[in-house]
Chains A and B, each alone.
Chain A
Amino acid sequence: MRLLAFDTATPATTVALALADEKLLTRRHEPGPGERPGHVSELLPLALELLDEAGVGFAQLDRLAVGIGPGTFTGLRIGVATARALAHAHGLPLVGVSTLRALAAGAAGPTADVPAHLAVLDARRGEAFAAAWAGEQELLAPAALAPEALAEAVAALPPGTVAIGDGAVRFRAVLETAGAVVPADDSAAHRVEAAVHARLAAGMEPTAADAVLPAYLRLPDAELALRRRRATAS
């Protein structure tokens, strides 16, 4: 199956092209320290580079996959808008892949003795997006959690659970105190890689392209403020 996958939920822009003979091509852009994410200017050029390298056009793809987050709202929309438009333009099947699921599945590969993987992304504002799996089994559903809630969630997971992702690095102290294992800051396990999305998406059922939307996991600030105002008024 020829499958193009990408993820823009984290500051990185990651793209992978899986080809019929199990060959996998990847490209990645990581913003430097203090630099803004390059999603809008990097995503399409990286995808085109991969297609060029493989000598494949969009029309020859069998499937598209996109990371649906959670993550930065603007980044997610750039990825999902691009995926939906590409799918639409050639009637390609599109699969939305949870970025947390891909992060956990990516780390799960070689370490079979790890009881569970907790994927943690920096949700800013002192919160983390987190979810956990033991193999295929979901132990913690994706949610935005404050540090105390994150610690509580970790306490309920099997001992020795490995936490990965930029949020795991950011909340290392909280996670380790609660009993999770966090790999070294520079471990590749913390990186979201579209190669994993490509692998997962090959085995998933595509949905209607219009049904693929970001998993924001958080309401817009204005909506939260409005609900607070209404709650205090009543």
Chain B
Amino acid sequence: MILALETSCDDTCAAVVTQDGEIRSNVISSQGVHDRYGGVVPEVASRHHLELIGPVVDDALAQAGISLPELDAIAVTQGPGLVGALLVGVSTAKALAAAHRLPLIPVDHLHGHVAASFLKPSEFEPPFLILIASGGHTLLAHVRDHGPDWEVLGATHDDAAGEAFDKGARMLGLGYPGGPALQRLAEDGDPEAFAFPTAQQVPGLDFSFSGLKTALLYKLRELGEEETERRRADLAASYQRAIVETLARRVERALETDPALPQRLALGGGVAANGPLRERMRGLGVAIDIPPIQLCTDNAAMIASAARHLPALPFPQYAALDAYATGERGL
């Protein structure tokens, strides 16, 4: 059994997963304190991680009915993410492991999002394509095996999909976090009302959301305050559709242009919670896996899942292990 810790952003997570991918516990403490700042504040997140990680680990072990010395290994997100936040998890995991001379398995956060699909009960097995879309990442990858050397087919040139949701939501006066609020507002709107760009000019399988953001800004100026207010739902629905299409058309392009790619698709990341995106992807006509939402958003079960297929560092080889920030390493 593997205990995993994940503290790369603003969720403090710990989970226990068996070697064959059964989740024994999956504890997620969402800090919920960042709304007042309009976004995740690294220093605030780090302070909360330090206070929460102990109780969260306790809960994960208690729910799994296992004690520390009985574990086979401890896994931890090493990066990428907010370094100060990651260091709380890395320091805690190293100390817990060293205290009982357990092996430690450092895991890349994005490998975790891929490995969420390997977990029971869905156990979506490679090969497949995966679209990971969240507030921090947007990429399309070819998952040939259990990893960790997966091929990234496309990534975003600018904002992540979740960021595009948040920024659009802010422009429409919806506050933070914006994704769910924007989706709710869009339910009463017409997605065809406005034609927003879907980055079709971006070559290959890469993504871009900066043009879309600018287009919304200009549209709001053009409409003026009163008209914007009247058509907020239409604007939200059209904006959301553009994000969904930007994502979906890349997947379609991949499937069409390279017949050698597997006709199987998994979704990961918080944006996978978006209803219209799920619907659109289910309509692609390929086998699809969308893990339950608590496995799509950041969690530690996915980190444990990835760790199952990675080499463990025996005690005390990991004693000097450091975290790495966003952009320092790729998938």
Interface residues in chain A, defined as those with a beta carbon under 8 Å from any beta carbon in chain B: 40-45, 48, 58-59, 73-74, 77-78, 80-86, 88-90, 209-210, 213-214, 216, 220-223, 226
With beta carbons under 8 angstroms apart, the residue of B43, B99, B100 that contacts A73 is B43
In the bound complex, do residue B91 and residue A48 qualify as a contact, i.e. CB atoms below 8 Å apart? no
- A213 shortest CB reach to chain B, Å: 7
Whether, in the assembled complex, B64 has its beta carbon less than 8 Å from a beta carbon of chain A, the answer is no
In the bound complex, do residue A86 and residue B87 qualify as a contact, i.e. CB atoms below 8 Å apart? no
User: B316-331, CB under 8 A of A: which get 1 and which 0?
Assistant: 1001111100000000
6 more CB-based (< 8 A) A-B contacts, given A82-B94, A210-B54: A40-B90, A40-B91, A40-B321, A77-B46, A81-B50, A86-B95
Whether, in the assembled complex, B92 has its beta carbon less than 8 Å from a beta carbon of chain A, the answer is yes
Contact residues on B (Cβ < 8 Å of other chain), bracket: 20 to 34
With beta carbons under 8 angstroms apart, the residue of A45, A74, A85, A223 that contacts B87 is A74
Q: If A58-B98, A77-B50 touch, does A41 touch B320 (CB 8 Å cutoff)?
A: yes
* 6 cross-chain CB contacts under 8 A: A81-B92, A85-B93, A86-B99, A210-B51, A222-B43, A226-B36
In the bound complex, do residue B92 and residue A84 qualify as a contact, i.e. CB atoms below 8 Å apart? yes
- B261 shortest CB reach to chain A, Å: 40
A83 CB contacts on chain B under 8 angstroms: 95
In the bound complex, do residue A89 and residue B50 qualify as a contact, i.e. CB atoms below 8 Å apart? no
Q: If A40-B90, A74-B87 touch, does A89 touch B95 (CB 8 Å cutoff)?
A: yes
In the bound complex, do residue B320 and residue A42 qualify as a contact, i.e. CB atoms below 8 Å apart? yes
In the bound complex, do residue A45 and residue B37 qualify as a contact, i.e. CB atoms below 8 Å apart? no
In the bound complex, do residue A88 and residue B96 qualify as a contact, i.e. CB atoms below 8 Å apart? yes
Residue of A nearest to B41 (CB): A222
Q: Which 4 pairs from chain A and chain B are nearest by CB? A: A89-B99, A85-B95, A220-B43, A81-B91
A43 CB contacts on chain B under 8 angstroms: 91
B84 CB contacts on chain A under 8 angstroms: 73-74, 77
B322 CB contacts on chain A under 8 angstroms: 40-41
- A48 shortest CB reach to chain B, Å: 5
A77 vs B86: C-alpha distance when bound (angstroms): 11
With beta carbons under 8 angstroms apart, the residue of B41, B53, B98, B100 that contacts A81 is B53
A86 vs B41: C-alpha distance when bound (angstroms): 28
Whether, in the assembled complex, B44 has its beta carbon less than 8 Å from a beta carbon of chain A, the answer is yes
A223 CB contacts on chain B under 8 angstroms: 37, 41, 44
B323 CB contacts on chain A under 8 angstroms: 40
A89 CB contacts on chain B under 8 angstroms: 68, 95-96, 99-100
A74 vs B46: C-alpha distance when bound (angstroms): 8
